[in-house]
A and B are shown apart, each in its own frame.
Chain A
């Protein structure tokens, strides 16, 4: 059961892409969905067995490659962390599969699409179940490839191509860090096996090794390198620009890879490597600060976006920041809990957005929507529930994880803790603002679209509505149901999967912080909702909102242009491309190397040949002249070699003789080469 859970999506991929032309779009969709459904049921069983019954399972399937000390196995490790990820990935993926049957039903390439979805799921499962870093890297890269293929699914669209390349390249930057981290792990631990690494990490606390010629704390360097991988995959500040652009893919793709699974791989990595991170406090500080800044950045950017999917994408980015900084504050269980909860409500939001976009004939601009609450009551309900879960409305899923993250940050009496708590609290306000703004503008505000579009409005068909319902139930209940097991004080659910040093644990402390601090996020949520209401629907400020104050305009432009990150990256990219063209290409490849290589040699030869050709006129008397000149020249040369003369036996010296003979004969034959 354990192995088949991982490989069923792979069989689905093979069936859909290999047999797609025989079984057709419907057939491929049914096969992949059925296989994934089985995988989902199995992963729920795994969650029960591994998580709640505390029966760890570890499988070593086969040897992959072995070279002296380096041994890589196909090994699968099922611990509570893996089980939770399995459930998250398979459930969201199953819902997306069902949803896509209807959403992508008209697409001629449906088998390919379903195959890619299954392939993506398979890679994600490989990533979460592997018991060593190398196999994890396989899944890690496979997810990247699958995301490229999925974002670029409509490969005739230029924007999709560019976004896919951007996603791929941004991820590659992170992957370099991850690969370096794996190299470092091997050089430090002499193994890539997770169990060995985690068991010995504590013993190597404080060791240092040479990194780029400087003596560094080994574990910190390793953790930061691994975290760079997470930065790339989880769209943290610096390598985040691919996430919003990847919205060019179909909406189910966004829901699958940018809300629930792929971007959570980075958080999973940090949580998985918690035994190493715990012994690298500097790395934890970096993780926490980076997460906090990402949350803040993405939340502020999301405020002024007008593209519906883009708002949700930035919200994802912001929530990932929450998860990462929770991990950075050693509250891995809370981070993973938020990951699981977030998967449900973000997938719900994305799929609801897809439903709206579908209903409006592929219109994504929120300014051309409005008044959809009456026309699409089901989608509206789903969207409201998803948004409420996202903003952390009490007793919905988000409330149980998001507020705990903030409480943990508040209970951490360090600079990092303060920093992230302040940023996180501000983000609550921003999150609430853009979530409610999206709701108000899209569903309640004045109609902004054109009449023909609104005439064809239709509610989602059953295959699209069912996943929404499922995810909605998840968004309402998962937090409450999972709370005690995942983050309950003294819960033994995680077993050895997540390791926290007793010094670092603040979960109990967080229970007993002041009530005002605990109430703060709720107040900020209401403040954000009220601000959104007054700036979109409310009469007194509405006119003010439409014509922003000239003093505010630069600030708003700064935020809506995504903090100018893309501009800066493009400037850097253009510089490096120019360098690549002018220096690498023109100076070296087409310049120096060709000058000393084929082209220079040929031109030198031909120019010299012209000179030589001038000598060889073909006249008999010229040839005779050459002969005599050669004779005289040779004699003079031979004489000049040893001015001491014949007495020392110049001709007896075989070197001189040979040299003279060679020159002489070559000169003799020169006329024939003309």
Chain B
């Protein structure tokens, strides 16, 4: 049982690390977010089976939908951003200076 939770947690952690450590590419960040959502989906599915409840599956479907929409919008933003800036490197993405 634990190993399923462990797997999803590991995936989630990987996704977070991907967001933190990635300095170059906005695409990678989007992918990391997808990974986060995947991990959450896995978690939902697992717990749905575990406690024998259908709600987890329904939530997973919603999350999938949202994730798809989100990545579509994210990619669209990315394209627009690329058009303006000419690159998609994150380390040049600070218009705010503290």
**How many angstroms from the CA of A616 to the CA of B93 in the assembled complex?**
13
Determine, out of B18-26, B42-50, B54-62, B63-71, the stretch whose residues face the partner at the interface.
Answer: B18-26
**How many angstroms from the CA of A619 to the CA of B94 in the assembled complex?**
5
Residue of B nearest to A609 (CB): B98
A-side binding surface: helix, strand, loop or mixed? Answer: helix
Q: How far is the CB of B57 from chain A (nearest CB, A)?
A: 27
Contact of B20 among A612, A614, A618, A625 (CB under 8 A): A625
0 or 1 for each of A598-632: is its CB under 8 Å from B? (1 = yes)? 00000000000000111111111100110010000
Q: Does B52 contact A (CB under 8 A)?
A: no
Q: How far is the CB of A608 from chain B (nearest CB, A)?
A: 13
Contact of B95 among A612, A613, A618, A624 (CB under 8 A): A618
Residue of A nearest to B97 (CB): A618
Asked if A620 meets B93 with Cβ closer than 8 Å, knowing A613-B98, A615-B98, the reply is yes
Q: Does A645 contact B (CB under 8 A)?
A: no
Residue of A nearest to B91 (CB): A619
A621 touches B22 (CB 8 A): yes
B96 touches A624 (CB 8 A): no
Q: How far is the CB of A389 from chain B (nearest CB, A)?
A: 90
Q: How far is the CB of A616 from chain B (nearest CB, A)?
A: 4
A616 touches B20 (CB 8 A): no
**How many angstroms from the CA of A618 to the CA of B95 in the assembled complex?**
7
Q: How far is the CB of A670 from chain B (nearest CB, A)?
A: 10
Asked if A620 meets B29 with Cβ closer than 8 Å, knowing A625-B20, A628-B16, the reply is yes
A280-339 CB contacts (< 8 Å) to partner B: none
**How many angstroms from the CA of A589 to the CA of B17 in the assembled complex?**
54
Across the interface, which residues of A come within 8 angstroms of B95, CB to CB? 618
B93 touches A619 (CB 8 A): yes
A621 touches B23 (CB 8 A): yes
Total B residues in contact with A, Cβ cutoff 8 Å: 15
**How many angstroms from the CA of A621 to the CA of B22 in the assembled complex?**
8
**How many angstroms from the CA of A612 to the CA of B98 in the assembled complex?**
8
Across the interface, which residues of B come within 8 angstroms of A206, CB to CB? none
Across the interface, which residues of A come within 8 angstroms of B22, CB to CB? 621
Across the interface, which residues of A come within 8 angstroms of B93, CB to CB? 619-620
0 or 1 for each of A404-437: is its CB under 8 Å from B? (1 = yes)? 0000000000000000000000000000000000
Q: Does A580 contact B (CB under 8 A)?
A: no
Most A CB contacts (10 A, CB to CB) among B20, B29, B96, B98 go to B98
A616 touches B90 (CB 8 A): no
B20 touches A617 (CB 8 A): no
Across the interface, which residues of B come within 8 angstroms of A612, CB to CB? 98
Q: Does A489 contact B (CB under 8 A)?
A: no
A495-546 CB contacts (< 8 Å) to partner B: none
A35-50 CB contacts (< 8 Å) to partner B: none
B90 touches A617 (CB 8 A): no
Contact of B96 among A616, A621, A628 (CB under 8 A): A616
Q: Does A461 contact B (CB under 8 A)?
A: no
Across the interface, which residues of B come within 8 angstroms of A613, CB to CB? 98
A621 touches B20 (CB 8 A): yes
B96 touches A618 (CB 8 A): yes
Residue of A nearest to B21 (CB): A621
Across the interface, which residues of B come within 8 angstroms of A674, CB to CB? 96-98
Across the interface, which residues of B come within 8 angstroms of A625, CB to CB? 20
Q: How far is the CB of B95 from chain A (nearest CB, A)?
A: 7
**How many angstroms from the CA of A617 to the CA of B90 in the assembled complex?**
13
Most B CB contacts (10 A, CB to CB) among A613, A617, A620 go to A620
Contact of B19 among A615, A618, A624 (CB under 8 A): A624
**How many angstroms from the CA of A331 to the CA of B96 in the assembled complex?**
91
Contact of A619 among B16, B21, B90 (CB under 8 A): B90
**How many angstroms from the CA of A82 to the CA of B79 in the assembled complex?**
104
Q: How far is the CB of B9 from chain A (nearest CB, A)?
A: 14
0 or 1 for each of B23-53: is its CB under 8 Å from A? (1 = yes)? 1000001000000000000000000000000
Q: How far is the CB of B70 from chain A (nearest CB, A)?
A: 16
**How many angstroms from the CA of A612 to the CA of B22 in the assembled complex?**
24
**How many angstroms from the CA of A614 to the CA of B97 in the assembled complex?**
9
Q: How far is the CB of A421 from chain B (nearest CB, A)?
A: 88
A618 touches B16 (CB 8 A): no
Q: How far is the CB of B21 from chain A (nearest CB, A)?
A: 8
B64-98 CB contacts (< 8 Å) to partner A: 90-91, 93-98
Q: How far is the CB of B93 from chain A (nearest CB, A)?
A: 6
**How many angstroms from the CA of A674 to the CA of B98 in the assembled complex?**
5
**How many angstroms from the CA of A643 to the CA of B62 in the assembled complex?**
36
**How many angstroms from the CA of A674 to the CA of B21 in the assembled complex?**
22
Q: How far is the CB of B64 from chain A (nearest CB, A)?
A: 23
Across the interface, which residues of A come within 8 angstroms of B19, CB to CB? 621, 624
Across the interface, which residues of B come within 8 angstroms of A621, CB to CB? 19-23, 90
Residues of B within 8 A of A (CB): 16, 19-23, 29, 90-91, 93-98
Residues of A within 8 A of B (CB): 612-621, 624-625, 628, 674
**Cβ-closest 9 pairs across A and B:** A618-B94, A618-B96, A616-B98, A613-B98, A674-B98, A624-B19, A619-B94, A621-B20, A625-B20
Report 28 cross-chain contacts, Cβ distance below 8 Å, ordered by A residue: A612-B98, A613-B98, A614-B98, A616-B96, A617-B94, A617-B97, A617-B98, A618-B94, A618-B95, A618-B96, A618-B97, A618-B98, A619-B90, A619-B91, A619-B93, A620-B29, A620-B90, A620-B93, A621-B19, A621-B21, A621-B90, A624-B16, A624-B19, A624-B20, A625-B20, A628-B16, A628-B20, A674-B98
Instruction: Known A-B contacts: A625-B20, A628-B20. Give 4 more (CB < 8 A).
Output: A614-B98, A620-B94, A621-B20, A621-B21
